[in-house]
Structure 1
């Protein structure tokens, strides 16, 4: 695993005290840190700094965190950047909105710096466990060969139906990202064919029967994500 010194973190919050505390604690762990106090500046700094992870508050002036996250995800270089929300909002709809915008994780305030850093290291560790080499994706015990449609799981080789294979490949290439059913339908089935949202659940159930329950995780009220321990 890479050391913290190799990771860049952008912290975005309109509370100066929180920015100061997080910057101090992250730098102490050798992360490279930049800060912003609003969403618009965050996007400008992100394009210059190109962070590996963005800590993003929801309630901010000028442009809130959810809109900022959505706009960042529209920029190709940030499509796979880790985005973690920090917020005092505890309502379920705020969490759903954050994940719908493309968040990887969601933590409520007050923030405990040591716990936060442990969470960041876990996210980086999980992301580093997935590698893409040409037509091959390696994610833990899963080896996916996109040229032959062959999946190897714990040494056992098998073939999947086309849509199951495409769904698994999509998840494995986007670890820790939460996708709702509509996003999965659009990415796997496209917009030209009418498919019920329930189809996603059926395909995920079939995949879990073959690779176990641990990889594709249900995020209540939002959708699914691919997660490595």
Structure 2
């Protein structure tokens, strides 16, 4: 018995789940160009279809530099937005996104609503999420996975701050770094995230700007970032 106790001290049994480190990127879809062309020039979004996709891949590169080239990347992408934009533009955007996932050795999960996105997050092992990033449209109360891909200026898929209680806070590491690159998230949703998930969510006070992502720059904010 003493020998077994000694072995357990020298060679403790560890859980594989405890060693799992996941880096989750949630990506919303673009509006249709035909709707955006009807807006005043200063209010247009998504003239380029790939703002959120390119921002996602820039973040993947950052994660691999910070956490190693074998870091586990999980990319949760709202598929209907890219299907609608692909049909409108005559381009195979979903296939291009799948190619990007393969190129970067990340797991791609297509979702069609907020519930499926939450299910994908909840399926991860306890305390495994070390980073979480959202790229997409948002307002102060919600991540908008869809915005204007079917109806101009209307969202048909989202994760509202009221939905955050559906996310298992236990899947996040206690020191997980979470950030939303959507507009206005820091004005309300960051507080709800902290209260319901348990981690801080870096969010924007003001609008975010994706105009630099095509030049290798992460989105910026018109105001400031807050936790």
TM-score, normalised with respect to structure 2: 0.37
